[in-house]
Amino acid sequence: MNSHDFSYLANVLHRRTGIILAEKKTHMIETRLMPVVRRFGFRDIASLLKELHYGHEALVQAVIESMTTNDSAFFRDRKTFEEFRDIVLPVLKLARSETKQLRIWCAACAAGQEPYSIAMVLDDAKLIDAGWTITLIATDINSQMVARAQDGIYSQFEVQRGLPIRRLVSNFQQEGTSWRISDHLRRMVSFRTFNLLDSYGWLPDCDVVFCRNALMYFDLKTRASVLDRIGEILAPDGALLVGPAESTDGYALGYVPADSAPGLFYKSKPAPVRRLSLVK
C-alpha cells in the first residue's frame, strides 16, 4: 500500500470512527483488508481503495469493520468487575431502591464477552428476582461483532480465559466444540450496532456506562468528545468504567476518579481549563 492510499484510508477511518491508524502497521492493515477485497470481488487493495472514493455505504462499513480491533475476554480486567460488583452496584441499589430500575450501557461490546460478564454479575446479585427492571444495552460499531454477540456462541479458546469453570458449566451450554450462553443471560442484553461518534439521542439516561478499551484507539479530541457525550446521558450519580490502561489522567476528562479503584469514574462538572490544556 503506498502512502497516498494509506493517508486516504486513515483519513476515512478517522473521520468516521475516531480511530487512528499507524502507518507502521501497513502490513496488518493489508491483512485485514484482504477479506474485504475478496468479499466484494476486487482485484487488489488498490482497486478497493479507489472504489472507496465513491463512498458506497456497504463498502465503507465493511472497510471500517475490518479495521477495528475486537479482542475481548469474559471478565477482562477482573478488578473492574469486582469494582462494579462491590462499589458501584451496592450504591446504586440504595439510590434506586424506590424505582428499582437500573440502566447500563456497554458502549463497545465486541463479541459480547463484556455485556455477558456484566449480566452474570447482575444475575448473581438476584436483582430481577427482587423485582428490579434492568436495561442492559450493548453496542459496537462492528455489525459482525454485534451479530456474534447476539448469537452468544463462543469457542473453547474464548471461554478458557477469564471464565472460572463453575461459571462456564452453570452459565453456558455446550454445543459440539462451542459453548452457548444461557438464554436467561442472553435475554438480559439488547444489542445494537452503533458508532460512538453518532447521536446518542436514542439512548436512555444511564446509571452505569462501560466504555473499555475502545477510547484508546481514538485521538485525544475524539476521546474527549465521546466522554463529554457519555456524560450527557449519564445520571448525576452515575458511574463510568474504562479500561485500566485508560484510567490515567487525561483520559477521563471531566470525571472524578474513584479513590483506589482504577478505571472507575464518577460524573462531575467538567473542568474546562484542564480539559483545554490536554486536547491538541
Ligand X SMILES: C[S@@+](CC[C@H](N)C(=O)[O-])C[C@H]1O[C@@H](n2cnc3c(N)ncnc32)[C@H](O)[C@@H]1O
Query: Using the rule CB under 8 A, is 174 a contact of another protein?
Result: yes
**Which C-beta is closer to ligand X: that of 21 or that of 96?**
21
Query: Using the rule CB under 8 A, is 182 a contact of another protein?
Result: no
For the CA atoms of the chain, what is the radius of gyration? 20
> Binding to another protein (CB under 8 A): which residues in 124-163?
156, 160-162
Rounded to whole angstroms, the Cα distance separating 20 from 245 reads: 17
Among 164, 187, 219, 221, binds another protein (CB under 8 A): 164
Among 165, 199, 236, 273, binds another protein (CB under 8 A): 165
Nearest-approach distance from CB 64 to another protein, in angstroms = 29
**Which C-beta is closer to another protein: that of 79 or that of 184?**
79
Nearest-approach distance from CB 159 to another protein, in angstroms = 8
Nearest-approach distance from CB 166 to ligand X, in angstroms = 22
Interface residue list for ligand X (CB under 6 A): 17-19, 68-72, 76, 108, 110, 114, 140-142, 145, 195-197, 212-214, 217, 243
Rounded to whole angstroms, the Cα distance separating 75 from 120 reads: 10
Q: Give the strand pairing for 172-175 and 178-181.
A: antiparallel
**Which C-beta is closer to another protein: that of 11 or that of 174?**
174
8 Å CB contact between 17 and 223: no
Q: Please give the full DSSP string across 218-240, using - where no structure is assigned.
A: B-HHHHHHHHHHHHHHEEEEEEE
Nearest-approach distance from CB 63 to ligand X, in angstroms = 13
Nearest-approach distance from CB 44 to ligand X, in angstroms = 25
Q: Is 195 helix (H, G, I), strand (E, B) or coil?
A: coil
Residue 156: which of another protein, ligand X, none does it interact with, CB under 5 to 8 A by kind? another protein
Q: Judged by CB under 8 A, which stretch of 11-19, 58-66, 101-109, 165-173 contacts another protein? A: 165-173
Q: Is 77 helix (H, G, I), strand (E, B) or coil?
A: coil
Q: Give the strand pairing for 153-155 and 264-267.
A: unpaired
Residue 144: which of another protein, ligand X, none does it interact with, CB under 5 to 8 A by kind? none
Nearest-approach distance from CB 87 to ligand X, in angstroms = 19
Q: Which long-range contacts (CB under 8 A, 24 or more apart) does 83-87 make?
A: 83/241, 83/258, 83/261, 83/263, 83/264, 84/118, 84/121, 84/208, 84/241, 85/121, 85/124, 85/125, 87/258, 87/261, 87/264
Q: Running DSSP on this structure, what letter comes out for residue 44?
A: S
Contacts to another protein by CB under 8 A = 156, 160-162, 164-166, 168-169, 174
